Amino acid sequence: MKTSEQSLSNAVTIERKNFDALFASLIKREYQIVGPTQRDGAIIYDIVKSSNDLPEGWAEEQNAGTMRLKRRNDKALFGFNSTVQSWKKFIHPPSQRLWQTKQSSGKPAIIPEKSKKQKLAFLGVRACDLAAMGILDKVFTDSPFTDTGYRIRRSDILVIGVNCTQAGGTCFCASMNTGPAISSGYDIVMTEIVEKSRHYFVVEKGSKVGEEIIKELPSAEANVYEIEGAEELVNKTSSAMGRKIDTTNIKELLSRNSENQRWQQNAQRCLTCGNCTMVCPTCFCTTIEDVTDLTGREANRMRKWDSCFTMDFSYIHGGSIRPSVYSRYRQWLTHKFAAWHDQFGTSGCVGCGRCITWCPVGIDVTEEITAIRMSDKNNPSITLSKENK
Ligand code: SF4
Ligand code: SF4
């Protein structure tokens, strides 16, 4: 987070009672607003039209394999941590048509799919999810093989971030250096502060358009007390993180432990359901399906999310190259935390904790990596304890 001195010239405060002016300003600019909302016992991201749609006064309790909503004792609008799914579904849709073919006068015509530009304002993006969007940008646009559809969808998205002021049960963004404070990639960033007699937001601009929007809102220059209060809340969140992970030389650790017995132990629990990949904000793998109508006159080529936990995912002539459960879990974890560095120059994990919460058997990636580190033959503390025996 920025220092108070840096922030002083920029930050303003917006009172809760004036918060809907933000919606008015975004709607005037023809943004469709996507934000958190409560539905079916969970908090999800969907179209929101006013602060009435936000999950006011709700929080969630998360642990390995469990999540339930609970009432807060205040009326915070962003008093929860991570949602079921991330923003990935809006920029990398679960299913999309690539092209279709139709018979006309006996001849098939191929009709390419045109990706539509979308003017979306993402309201309430957390630091981990913003980091995940940065990773997806690298995957889809920062290489010789740009995904045109992704680039078009991503091109007109306004990001309004919210700093986390409490840690979730399964979060470990502090270990991954992605949060809880938002440091870049936003148009506007806010910290929500709920006091006994006052509910307000400390707000900073991150882009020209963000600055223009803030100027339209009823606001006051933030004072030192307000800025430092916001910073303190975010700093406390970092130290109260539910989980942590030691990432020292993690690529080398995982690479030399491809035959660690922990993979086999884990395979006795893993259901290969793929939930962890579906909820992960950075997993991007897809498969292609061709779908025809019954007459054979029309066919659609679809691209759909896939998962390295399915047998088909690694199917080549003669069979799947990862038939065992342990090989599939190992593929997922080592790609995310090790090989991703070689491919994209970054970790594939942002520490959002979703894979831990939504794993039906409660497999916890932080526990798995810790177990591998503790049983690593090159771990100096293991060697030391053996020598001491
Ligand atoms: S680790 Fe958990 S969520 Fe992932 S495939 Fe295995 S059982 Fe499913
Ligand atoms: S691997 Fe798990 S904790 Fe890491 S980004 Fe994916 S879902 Fe979040």
- Does 271 sit in the ligand 1 pocket, CB within 6 Å? yes
**Same structural domain, 285 and 210:** no
Nearest bound ligand to the CA of residue 132: 2
Strand partners, 157: 120
**Same structural domain, 100 and 213:** yes
Q: Reduced to 3 DSSP states, what percent helix, strand and coil does the chain have, rounded to the nearest 5?
A: 35, 25, 40
Report how far residue 24's alpha carbon sits from residue 127's, in angstroms, rounded to the nearest whole number. Answer: 25
- Does 359 sit in the ligand 1 pocket, CB within 6 Å? yes
Q: Which residue of 175, 355, 357 sits with most ligand 2 atoms within 8 Å of its CB, as the best mutation to test the pocket?
A: 355
**Same structural domain, 333 and 289:** yes
Structural domain that includes position 335? 250-388
pLDDT tens column, 146-203: 999 999 999 999 999 999 999 999 999 999 999 999 999 999 999 999 999 999 999 9
**Same structural domain, 18 and 151:** yes
Give the residue, by CA position, lying nearest to ligand 1 atom 2.
Answer: 359
**Same structural domain, 161 and 286:** no
- Does 273 sit in the ligand 1 pocket, CB within 6 Å? yes
DSSP state of 264: H
For the chain, the residue count is 389
| 155, 148 Cβ separation under 8 angstroms | no
H or E segment and range at residue 266: helix 261-267
Report how far residue 355's alpha carbon sits from residue 333's, in angstroms, rounded to the nearest whole number. Answer: 11
**Same structural domain, 192 and 286:** no
Domain count across the chain: 2
| 347, 176 Cβ separation under 8 angstroms | yes
Token reading at 129: 């999810």
Asked if residue 244 belongs to a domain, the reply is no
Residue ranges of the chain with pLDDT lower than 50? 1-8, 384-389
Asked if residue 188 belongs to a domain, the reply is yes
Q: Which residue of 306, 361, 365, 366 sits with most ligand 1 atoms within 8 Å of its CB, as the best mutation to test the pocket?
A: 361
User: How buried is 308 (Cβ within 10 angstroms: 0-12 exposed, 13-18 middle, 19+ buried)?
Assistant: buried
**Same structural domain, 19 and 96:** yes
Task: Measure the CA angle with vertex 295, ends 292 and 300; round to 5°.
Answer: 20
Of the three residues 206, 239, 272, the one that is the final residue of a domain is 239
Of the three residues 239, 268, 287, the one that is the final residue of a domain is 239
Pairing of strands 58-63, 66-71: antiparallel
Cα of 363 to ligand 1 centre, how many Å? 7
Cα of 364 to ligand 1 centre, how many Å? 9
Residue 242, pLDDT score? 79
Rounded to 10 degrees, the C-alpha dihedral 139/178/56/206 comes to -80
Name, in order, each residue with C-beta under 8 angstroms of 196's C-beta and a sequence gap of 6 or more.
none
Cα of 63 to ligand 1 centre, how many Å? 15
The model carries a pTM of 0.93
Of the three residues 217, 239, 261, the one that is the final residue of a domain is 239
**Same structural domain, 94 and 223:** yes
pLDDT tens column, 44-70: 999 999 999 999 999 999 999 999 999
Nearest bound ligand to the CA of residue 81: 2
**Same structural domain, 204 and 287:** no
Residue 257, pLDDT score? 96
**Considering only CA atoms, which of 152, 92, 113 is closest in space to residue 300?**
113
Pairing of strands 120-125, 12-15: unpaired
Residue 388, pLDDT score? 41
Asked if residue 120 belongs to a domain, the reply is yes
Ligand 2 environment, Cβ below 6 A: 279-282, 336, 349-355, 365
Asked if residue 368 belongs to a domain, the reply is yes
Which ligand 2 atom lies nearest to the CA of residue 351?
3
Q: How many CB atoms lie within 10 A of CB 342?
A: 10
Q: Is the dihedral of CA 10, 16, 20, 23 positive or negative?
A: positive
Asked if residue 245 belongs to a domain, the reply is no
**Same structural domain, 272 and 151:** no
Q: What is the DSSP string of 195-264?
A: -SS-EEEEEEE-SHHHHHHHHHS--EE--HHHHHHHHHHHHHHHHT-S-----TTHHHHHHTTTT-HHHH
**Same structural domain, 144 and 120:** yes
Token reading at 187: 């148009």
Report how far residue 1's alpha carbon sits from residue 183's, in angstroms, rounded to the nearest whole number. Answer: 6
**Same structural domain, 303 and 357:** yes
Q: Which residue of 87, 92, 139, 282 sits with most ligand 2 atoms within 8 Å of its CB, as the best mutation to test the pocket?
A: 282
